[in-house]
């Protein structure tokens, strides 16, 4: 990880415990369940992207930090819900038992709900503290909601769940897989970048560069995840791996095989680097995309 990413990660790790509701203001078990998953580590990729994009457009990082924390809250809620028995039924996440294993299904659903709604409360509070930047905050909030919602991550997850339960016609598989990954995974990575960039009132060209870079990077991230699911161990990943193949899930690897997926990953990485070039004077985002090729968890 680059020094700059390390600096962002540290900012996020320091801010997250204070971004959450404190136990006295919130039902104690709910707070505990929310903290359990949010403070369990993880790569913190999405919040770091928010800070990186914000800094690159000259926005104030103290105003970007609540958005970074909000992205991580939304991401963590999605992981908690995705691990539930009704969805992926996973027992290991971030090297720990999953939320529902520790707190029970009902509390895990509520912990996810709490994180999602608190994410918006958190950025709303920040926006209200900066009325002089109201428009930028509104646009940054839109980036978060668009990424998380029924035209973003939730849409992608719903198609994923539907295909798993009902299957899909052979001739539709490629199109559906693209849709799932563009929405389930890439939307949040793109949204994290856009949320940060919006705080600097970017030009349309800058916004478009981050949007395209985020989409390509996000799909690359998912292709890498599919390869790791097929080729790595639960110990190195901190989550159950190998289930995609066992359960006949629609993934890049199941559709194209490992070698073709690696080729696709390299192509997406190049496309991401190309998209960001006009606004990436020091090559930070180019190097970040390159890291995606060699990530091991």
Q: Which is nearer to ligand GRG, 94 or 137 (CB)?
A: 94
Q: Which is nearer to ligand GRG, 57 or 79 (CB)?
A: 79
* Residue located via tokens 């996440």: 93
Shortest separation between residue 261's beta carbon and ligand GRG, angstroms: 14
Picking from 259, 264, 255, 256, the residue whose alpha carbon sits closest to that of residue 163 is 255
Q: Which is nearer to ligand GRG, 41 or 278 (CB)?
A: 41
Kindly give, in sequence order, each residue whose CB lies less than 8 Å from that of residue 96, ignoring residues fewer than 6 positions away: 36, 40, 238
| Residues found near ligand GRG in the complex (CB under 6 A) | 42-43, 45, 75, 78-79, 81-82, 94, 153-154, 157, 184-185, 222, 225
Shortest separation between residue 8's beta carbon and ligand GRG, angstroms: 14
Distances in Å between the alpha carbon of 163 and those of 24, 77, 179, 222, 241?
A: 42, 22, 12, 17, 20
Query: What are the helix and strand counts (H, E) for the chain?
Result: 16, 2
Q: Which is nearer to ligand GRG, 146 or 277 (CB)?
A: 146
Q: Are 254 and 248 in contact (CB under 8 A)?
A: yes
Shortest separation between residue 229's beta carbon and ligand GRG, angstroms: 8
Cα distance between residue 269 and residue 220, in whole Å: 6
Shortest separation between residue 132's beta carbon and ligand GRG, angstroms: 33
Q: Which is nearer to ligand GRG, 153 or 271 (CB)?
A: 153
Residue nearest to ligand GRG (CB): 42
Q: Which is nearer to ligand GRG, 35 or 139 (CB)?
A: 35
Shortest separation between residue 185's beta carbon and ligand GRG, angstroms: 4
Q: Which is nearer to ligand GRG, 57 or 224 (CB)?
A: 224
Token pair for 240: 């159950």
Cα distance between residue 67 and residue 187, in whole Å: 15
Residue 93's φ and ψ, nearest 5 degrees, are -150, 130
Distances in Å between the alpha carbon of 178 and those of 156, 174, 210, 214, 270?
A: 10, 6, 20, 15, 18
Shortest separation between residue 157's beta carbon and ligand GRG, angstroms: 4
Shortest separation between residue 68's beta carbon and ligand GRG, angstroms: 13
- Report how far Cα 189 is from the mean position of its chain's Cα atoms: 5
Cα distance between residue 169 and residue 144, in whole Å: 33
């Amino acid at each position: 990880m680059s020094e700059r990413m390390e600096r962002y990660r540290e900012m996020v790790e320091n801010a997250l415990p204070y971004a959450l509701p404190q136990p006295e203001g919130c039902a104690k078990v709910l707070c505990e369940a929310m903290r359990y998953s949010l403070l369990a580590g993880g790569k913190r990729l999405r919040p770091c992207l928010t800070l990186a994009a914000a800094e690159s457009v000259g926005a104030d990082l103290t105003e970007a930090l609540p958005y970074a924390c909000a992205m991580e809250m939304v991401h963590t809620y999605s992981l908690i819900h995705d691990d539930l028995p009704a969805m992926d039924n996973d027992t290991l996440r971030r090297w720990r038992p999953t939320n529902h294993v520790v707190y029970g299904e009902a509390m895990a659903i509520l912990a996810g709900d709490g994180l999602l709604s608190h994410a918006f409360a958190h950025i709303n509070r920040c926006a209200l503290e900066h009325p002089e930047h109201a428009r930028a905050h509104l646009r940054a909030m839109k980036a978060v909601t668009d990424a998380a919602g029924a035209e973003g991550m939730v849409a992608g997850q719903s198609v994923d769940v539907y295909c798993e339960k009902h299957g899909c016609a052979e001739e539709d598989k490629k199109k559906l897989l693209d849709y799932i990954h563009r929405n389930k995974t890439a939307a949040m990575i793109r949204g994290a970048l856009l949320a940060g960039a919006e705080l600097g009132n970017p030009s349309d060209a800058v916004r478009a560069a981050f949007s395209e870079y985020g989409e390509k990077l996000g799909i690359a991230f998912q292709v890498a995840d599919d390869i790791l699911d097929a080729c790595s161990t639960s110990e190195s990943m901190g989550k159950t791996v190998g289930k995609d193949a066992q359960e006949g899930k629609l993934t890049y690897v199941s559709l194209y095989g490992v070698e073709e997926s690696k080729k696709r990953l390299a192509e997406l990485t190049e496309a991401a680097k190309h998209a960001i070039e006009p606004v990436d004077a020091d090559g930070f985002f180019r190097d970040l995309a390159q890291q995606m090729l060699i990530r091991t968890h």
